[in-house]
Amino acid sequence: VASGTERRIEGVCAVMRERNLDALLVSAPANVRYLTGYTGSHGVALLTVSDESEAHSFFTDFRYETQAQEEVGKAFAIEIAPLDLFGVLVKTLEGNGRLGFDESHLTVRDHTRLDELLDGRFELVCAGGVVEHLREVKDADEVRRIESAARLADEALQRVLEGGLAGRTERELAIELELQMRRLGADAASFPTIVAAGAHAALPHAHPLDVRVGTRELVTIDWGAVYDGYCSDCTRTFASSEPTALQREVYALVLEAQEAGLAALRAGPSGKQVDAAARRLIEDAGHGAHFGHGLGHGVGIEVHEGPRLSRLRADAPLRAGNVVTVEPGVYLAGELGVRIEDLAVVSEDGSRVLSSLPKWLTIAS
């Protein structure tokens, strides 16, 4: 269990006291993992606070008993329950009060069942985002894990590039990249690998096709590894042979915007402001309508988490310890797509990029 676990639990308890919550049900697997260390699929945590004391429990069923004993931090009493964990969970709640739950995760069915079992003793209160907000700021151990995942993913891509791009199908390239990541020790790919060539790359989330990469095409590869429970995320766009003037021009624009986004990245400005720093350049070049997604997102236990770098989000300032992507793109339908994505740790005076691959337009024939 990570050394930061106690600090994480303290952080959650402080928010619970602020919001007058007597108990908090933590049910989303990434949040359960963050607080307890448990990596299994079926398990929930219940944190309770009173004026003086705190008591925390972890509930799972018999299939995960051994795993829970090995993984769950000692701040939690482990309770082995029947498959329906809520019956036992409700019995550990004494008296009455307010029980927070995650409204973006708990199903309506589970909410109804919980409410019945509580029988009016506890009021169910929406408390989503409490753990996610803490997760946005990574400690040194988490940054190390993300950096390891990024290094591993970079190494895997380099191995794939040795075989060249032209003449191989998008699907073959994606499969080989995932295989190389697994061979290098990744638990999994952090999301389905994107390999998209030519006009297909104009779809930002293209699924690899059984189509061979041709000559004079740009090829976008977006990939990441899960290592030690943490994700990486990176995108590079390559040329399959000598690029055309249009390919060079769009690539240079996206790279300039990406560098401007990285230069604006530090604690203080909002994700919206950093997004604007990059977007402005793409808009000024007349391609604003061809950059339809946000500039970036947080990465950690989940590959897409807070904070978001987006013009659509609230103006909360970025914090030191945020780990975010900076990934502008320009997508010309029927023609080409370019996206360049780095992963970076935010600090008080700037950021440190965790992706190591070069960003000049590389010909990978």
Question: What's the token pair of residue 75?
Answer: 């701040």
What whole-number distance in Å separates Cα of residue 209 and Cα of residue 196? Answer: 8
Minimum distance of Zn ion from residue 234's CB (angstroms): 6
Minimum distance of Zn ion from residue 194's CB (angstroms): 7
Q: Which residues bind Zn ion (CB under 5 A)?
A: 222, 233, 235, 325, 341
Judged by beta carbon, residue 9 or residue 323, the one nearer Zn ion is 323
Minimum distance of Zn ion from residue 300's CB (angstroms): 12
Minimum distance of Zn ion from residue 204's CB (angstroms): 10
Judged by beta carbon, residue 113 or residue 151, the one nearer Zn ion is 151
Minimum distance of Zn ion from residue 79's CB (angstroms): 38
Contact indicator for 139, 4 with CB cutoff of 8 Å: yes
Minimum distance of Zn ion from residue 261's CB (angstroms): 13
Cα dist. 143→57, 136, 147, 231 in Å?
Answer: 28, 11, 6, 10
Say whether 105 sits in a helix, a strand or coil: coil
Judged by beta carbon, residue 48 or residue 235, the one nearer Zn ion is 235
Judged by beta carbon, residue 78 or residue 326, the one nearer Zn ion is 326
Contact indicator for 355, 233 with CB cutoff of 8 Å: no
Cα dist. 296→18, 57, 258, 279, 306 in Å?
Answer: 31, 35, 10, 11, 10
Question: What's the token pair of residue 284?
Answer: 């000024």
What whole-number distance in Å separates Cα of residue 185 and Cα of residue 178? Answer: 11
Judged by beta carbon, residue 232 or residue 270, the one nearer Zn ion is 232
Judged by beta carbon, residue 235 or residue 270, the one nearer Zn ion is 235
Contact indicator for 346, 324 with CB cutoff of 8 Å: yes
What whole-number distance in Å separates Cα of residue 187 and Cα of residue 191? Answer: 12
Minimum distance of Zn ion from residue 231's CB (angstroms): 10
Judged by beta carbon, residue 49 or residue 157, the one nearer Zn ion is 157
What does 242-259 look like in DSSP terms, one character per residue?
A: SPPHHHHHHHHHHHHHHH
Surface-to-core class of residue 357, CB atoms within 10 Å of its CB (0-12 exposed, 13-18 middle, 19+ buried): middle
